[in-house]
Amino acid sequence: MAWWFLQRSRIFFSTHQHSKPFLLLPFLNHTSSSFSRPRTLPHKNSPTLFCFSRHESTKADAQFELENDFTEDDTNQEIDFPGGKVGFTSEMRFISKSATKRVPCYRVLDDNGELVKYSNYVQVSKEMGVKMYSDMVILQTMDNMFHEVQRQGRISFYLTQMGEEAVNIASAAALAPDDIVLPQYREPGVLLWRGFTLQQFVHQCFGNTHDLGKGRQMPIHYGSNQHNYFTISSPIATQLPQAVGAAYSLKMDGKSACAVTYCGDGGTSEGDFHAGMNFAAVMDAPVIFICRNNGWAISTPVEEQFRSDGIVVKGKAYGIWGIRVDGNDVLAVYSAVHTAREIAIREKRPVLIEALTYRVGHHSTSDDSTKYRAIDEIEYWKTRRNPVNRFKRWVEKNGWWSDKEELELRSSIRKQLIHAIEVAEKAQKPPLEDMFSDVYDQLPSNLEEQERLLRKSIKKHPKDYPSDVPL
Amino acid sequence: MSTKFGRLVSFVGKRRFSTSSSVQKGGSEQGVKSLNLCSAINQALHIALDSDPRSYVFGEDVSFGGVFRCTTGLADQFGKKRVFNTPLCEQGIVGFGIGLAAMGNRAIAEIQFADYIFPAFDQIVNEAAKFRYRSGNQFNCGGLTIRTPYGAVGHGGHYHSQSPEAFFCHVPGIKVVIPRSPRQAKGLLLSCIRDPNPIVFFEPKWLYRLAVEEVPEDDYMLPLSEAEVIRQGSDITLVGWGAQLSIMEQACLDAEKEGISCELIDLKTLIPWDKETVEASVNKTGRLLVSHEAPITGGFGAEVSASIVERCFSRLEAPVARICGLDTPFPLVFEPFYVPTKNKILDAIKSTVKY
């Protein structure tokens, strides 16, 4: 369905057939012609240590896919190596660490919310456009209020999505409800999109008896079986290989659905990122990896995280299709995820999406990001590259949205949240028995004994224990 | 007639890992076949795959039958979509297994050697073990079973010999199970695969080919978290699990010649473990010895010892004895010095009884 607009995209401009596992890249499949081309000169990034005079650097604007454009001596000679045939070359040339030109970033809307000339994107209906915008506003409002509530000491912890609203909402909008989401922790917009109520968010953050997680995890560790949104855990990137297992199950069940998992730029340094990507490729698993490259892993900037051209190029080495998108462009994120989903499900293969965005807020309420990054930088992203404002201009230009609606929405959501917070605050804490249940499917004898002893201690020293937990 | 451990096909005192193929002797009873532990595991996996179309077996090299041949024939029978190789990456294997299990499948993962399970430690400890609890029982990965061969074989050195069970016994949310014989292995493995909790199942690789026992051919399960008194006695209680039990049995036989009556208990499930059976036995004998191959310090023997001292302090007539591996990395040429041998155990039995 969405193939038509891919035809301009260099990254996806390709055959629909599976690439040979050993050749890794789709475009290498049809580069047999390039193999027989006259000798090409090595480009600028070749190691100068072995610079022979006859091989002078020429083009600075070498294209990304020229990276592997070695000249072969004799196309008839090759090693029949496990995994596929490999040709020979007499050139001793090292593959450079990265291309001279960075992989470009796919966008649809410019900074002013205008459609970029010749842009290819998946059409969005008025209903969809308005819902996406509204949910971004709701997410923003929720973040602002929860942040305040944490500052007042009413909840213990919070972290905002500020600056990453587009990745949150547009990626969710492009998925189907039965796609399985294995989130990190900065994607509650996906859950919001799927219908998790404001009250449910608030209950979780207050860890009360209505929290589906029974008050066992810190605020923001949401999860909802009903919404196919796996419960969040704090360890970074552990959900990636799990998403491959979930995707494999969907494939084996013949479901027309995929698994979708999120991580940040920091997460790509974890072993689990490697495990997830490699397993996904080898298992032909219908899984979409969405990496929110927001520039900062707490205080560590991307330059101290990796030396690759971001994340999208990592997919290439694993034999996974990938695309870099402007993560602050709702239409670009929506289109890329929508198409990735088609590819994943139809072709039973993983797709990597790197969304370039920015964490405008602090890492969490325990962090002050002005200690390690320039305020100007934050301001730039908060104002000039604000994803919500950019999309707003577009929906307004379409005549789909007005200032009046904006005011009404913001004030209505604020009211709803204030009410939800009051309700959550008044609600009871989960009962003590919830401390012991669900460790296993049934209570084992050691936990029975420990619960009994604990209750004895509570009776004896009631003041040692919180009085608001029902016994 | 098989013993409590199965018949050992070569001399027990010497830990030589036989490389001979599985011993297949015609069953003497109806529906019972003489099998070694490896074949018993294979049979359990076969039944698991056959009885539930949502079950999967995967890990490094499992497709051709595995380096120990435990998965022989499974891919041929059930197809490469249900029995398959994975990349060489333990955290990937377990992470993948968690995701597969969370979707309602029985994910039977193999970690080639227990010595190599550590890259998967985070996935086991922070993910599998907490999956149900952290979600308020909305999600679980109870269908996950991690099989892994453990223990000394006579020539394994540092990285093909370890017994890392104690690390996992510190983790609420998973179960740890170790069989002692072919019949036990089949019944316990089937229970683990079908138990609604994630389980680490340690297989005594020393016994893969060495232990042979009459194993029922049908689909049967043995209960988890139930210890078994495998030898009745009145003077001292010995507690162990897995391959070490056969060494302990030898010590019991020798002690008997000297007039000491030993009760031997197979714990089988290390967490959540059956304290009551051990407690009842120690209340009867008044003495306890625990033995395992893993290093003594922080080993699970310490937990058994402390728990029983708490429960049976007034009944104990001697300090609890622990005969275990030493606190060194598992040493290749020094293995005969390192391991808890029959005579180390026998000496401890005598000194405990004479205390």
**pLDDT tens for each residue of A290-326:** 999 999 999 999 999 999 999 999 999 999 999 999 9
User: Which residues of chain A make contact with B89, given a CB cutoff of 8 A?
Assistant: 271, 274-275, 278-279
In chain A, helix, strand, coil percent, each to 5?
45, 10, 50
B251 touches B237 (CB < 8 A)? no
pLDDT at A98: 66
What confidence tier does B115 reach under pLDDT thresholds 50, 70, 90? very high
Among the partner residues B99, B138, B175, nearest to A223 by beta-carbon distance: B138
Angle at A27 between CA A25 and CA A28, to 5 degrees: 70
Contact flag B100-A250 (C-beta cutoff 8 Å): no
Q: Are B293 and B15 in contact (CB under 8 A)?
A: no
Q: What is the dihedral of CA A323, A324, A329, A330, to 10 degrees?
A: 30
Q: Which residues of A touch B139 (CB under 8 A)?
A: 223, 225, 230-231
Residues 249-288 of B with CB under 8 A from A: 272-273, 275-276
What pTM, to 2 d.p., does this model score?
0.89
**A107: Cα within 13 Å, side-chain hemisphere:** 23
Residue numbers in A near B104 (CB within 8 A): 249
* Subunit contact A180:B103, Cβ cutoff 8 A: yes
Structure tokens at B236: 């001292």
The answer, for A272 touching chain B at a CB cutoff of 8 Å, is yes
Q: Residues, chain B, total?
A: 355
ipTM: 0.93
Please tell me the predicted confidence (pLDDT) of residue B30: 64
Q: What's the Rg (C-alpha) of chain A?
A: 25
What Rg value do the Cα atoms of chain B yield, rounded? 20
Chain A neighbours among B 132-161 (CB < 8 Å)? 132-140, 142
What pLDDT does residue A24 have? 32
CA atoms within 13 A on the CB side of B82: 20
Of B342, B163, B338, nearest to B246 (Cα)? Answer: B342
Length of chain A: 471
The B7-8 sheet, strands edge to edge: B7-8, B211-216, B32-36
Residue for token pair 């179960």: B175
Q: Which SS3 state, helix, strand or coil, does residue B110 take? A: strand
Cβ contacts of A259 on chain B, cutoff 8 Å: 99
Q: Report the side by side order of strands in the sheet with A351-356.
A: A180-182, A259-264, A287-293, A351-356, A321-326
Tell whether domain A126-425 is in CATH 3.20.20.20: no
pLDDT at A34: 35
Q: Which candidate, A197, A317, A179, places its Cα nearest to that of A261? A: A179
User: Is the model's pLDDT at B248 over the cut of 80?
Assistant: yes
pLDDT tens track for A254-291: 999 999 999 999 999 999 999 999 999 999 999 999 99
The candidate with the shortest Cα–Cα distance to B192, out of B60, B314, B45, B306, is B45
What is the token pair recorded at A315?
Answer: 């997919």
- CB contacts of A244 in chain B (<8 Å) are 92, 95-96, 99
Rounded to 5 degrees, what are φ and ψ at B276? -60, -40
Is residue A329 classed as helix, strand or coil in its secondary structure?
coil
Q: What are the beta bridge partners of residue B264? A: B231, B238
Whole-angstrom distance, CA of residue B242 vs CA of residue B246 = 8
Handedness of CA B292, B293, B296, B299 (dihedral sign): negative
Q: Is A36's Cβ below 8 Å from some Cβ in B? A: no
Q: Is B160 assigned a catalytic role?
A: yes
Among B89, B108, B225, most A C-beta atoms within 10 A, so best to mutate, is B89
> Over 80: is that where the pLDDT of B23 sits?
no
Residue B350: C-alpha distances to residues A208, B248, B263, B326 (Å): 57, 13, 14, 21
Alpha helix locations (H) across A174-214? 188-193, 198-206
* Domain regions of chain B by residue span: 14-216, 228-354
Residues B102, A428: Cα–Cα separation, whole Å = 30
Q: B52, B103, B146, B310: which to substitute to probe chain A, counting the most A Cβ within 10 Å?
A: B103
Residue range B266-291: mean pLDDT, rounded? 98
**How far B352 CA lies from chain A's nearest CA (Å)?**
28
Question: Roughly what angle, to the nearest 10 degrees, separates helices A387-397 and A330-347?
Answer: 90
In a mutagenesis test of the A interface, which of B88, B89, B96 is the best target, namely the one with the most A β-carbons within 10 Å? B96
**Which run of H or E residues covers position A38?**
none
Q: Which residue has the higher pLDDT, B29 or A406?
A: A406
What is the topology classification, in CATH, of domain B228-354?
Rossmann fold (3.40.50)
Q: Give the dihedral sign, CA A234/B100/A279/B38.
A: positive
Which three-class secondary structure state does DSSP give residue B107? Answer: strand
Closest CA to A109 of A416, A352, A395: A395
Q: With a CB-CB cutoff of 8 Å, which residues 198-257 of chain A face chain B?
A: 211-214, 216-217, 221, 223-225, 230-231, 233, 235, 238, 240-250, 252
pLDDT at A341: 98
Contacts of A274 in chain B (CB under 8 A): 89, 92
**Quick one: residue B197, left, alpha or beta (phi over 0 = left, psi -120 to 50 = alpha)?**
beta
Instruction: List CB contacts of A67: < 8 A, sequence separation 6 or more.
Output: A95, A96, A99
Are the C-beta atoms of residues A112 and A123 closer than 8 Å to each other?
no
Task: With beta carbons under 8 A apart, name residues in chain B contacting A235.
Answer: 122, 126-127
Q: Which fold has domain B14-216?
A: Rossmann fold (3.40.50)
Contacts of residue B278, Cβ cutoff 8 Å, sequence gap at least 6: B227, B237, B239, B265, B267, B288, B304, B307, B308
**Average pLDDT score over residue span B281-306:** 98
pLDDT tens digits for range B149-172: 999 999 999 999 999 999 999 999
**Distance in angstroms (rounded) separating the CA atoms of residues A439 and B134:** 9
Are B135 and A276 inside 8 Å of each other by CB?
Answer: no
Q: Which of B94, B107, B135 sits opposite A223 (nearest CB)?
A: B135
State whether the Cα torsion A34-A39-A42-A48 is positive or negative.
positive
Of A333, A346, A353, A170, the residue nearest A258 (C-alpha): A346
Kindly determine whether residue A238 and residue B126, on different chains, have CB atoms separated by under 8 Å: yes
Report residues of chain A scoring pLDDT below 70: 1-70, 73, 75, 98
Asked if B99 lies within 8 A of A438 by C-beta distance, the reply is no
Q: Which residues of A are catalytic?
A: 148, 234, 363-364
Of A316, A297, A298, A296, whose CA–CA distance to A308 is shortest? A316
Residue A1: alpha-carbon gap to chain centroid: 24
Contacts of A437 in chain B (CB under 8 A): 137
Beta-ladder partners of B144: B107
Distance from the first to the final alpha carbon of chain A: 57
pLDDT of residue B8: 64
Q: CA-CA-CA-CA torsion for A96, A101, A106, A107, nearest 10 degrees? A: 150
Task: Determine contact: B100 vs chain A, CB below 8 A.
Answer: yes
Query: ω into residue B272 within 30 of 0, thus cis?
Result: yes
Domain boundaries, chain A: 37-48+63-101, 126-425, 433-464
Decide if A288 contacts A353 (C-beta within 8 A): yes
For B217-325, where are the E strands, in sequence order?
228-231, 236-240, 262-266, 269-271, 288-295, 321-325
Q: Report CB contact under 8 Å: B132, A211.
A: no
The single residue of B60, B110, B127, B160 carrying the catalytic annotation is B160
CA pair distance A136, A322, nearest whole angstrom: 26
Tell me how close the Cα of B272 comes to any Cα of chain A, in angstroms. Answer: 7
CB contact (8 A) between residue B96 and residue A272 = no
CB atoms within 10 A of CB A176: 11
pLDDT of residue B27: 43
Same fold, B14-216 and B228-354: yes
* Cβ-Cβ contacts under 8 Å, A180 against chain B: 103
What spatial distance separates the first Cα and last Cα of chain B, rounded to whole Å? 37
Task: State the best of A228, A233, A248 to mutate against chain B, taking most chain B CBs within 10 Å.
Answer: A248
Per the CB < 8 Å rule, is A238 touching B99?
A: no
Which residues from A are below 8 Å from B100, CB to CB? 245-246, 248-249
Q: Which residues 316-355 in chain A show a CB within 8 A of chain B? A: none
Distance CA A271, CA A213 (A): 28
Segment 196-225 of chain B within 8 Å of chain A by CB: 196-197, 225
CB B242 within 8 A of CB B266: no
- Please report the number of interchain residue pairs, chain A to chain B, with beta-carbon separation below 8 angstroms: 153
B332-343: average pLDDT: 98
Mean pLDDT of chain B: 94
Q: Which of B245, B167, B237 is nearest to B6 (CA)?
A: B245
Match 């979708």 to its residue by tokens.
Answer: A260
CA distance A367 to A365: 5
- The per-residue pLDDT for B9 is 59
Give the separation between CA A383 and CA A293, rounded to whole angstroms.
Answer: 19
**A49-53, B145-149, B182-186, B242-246: segment of lowest average pLDDT:** A49-53
Inter-chain CB proximity A249 and B99 less than 8 Å: yes
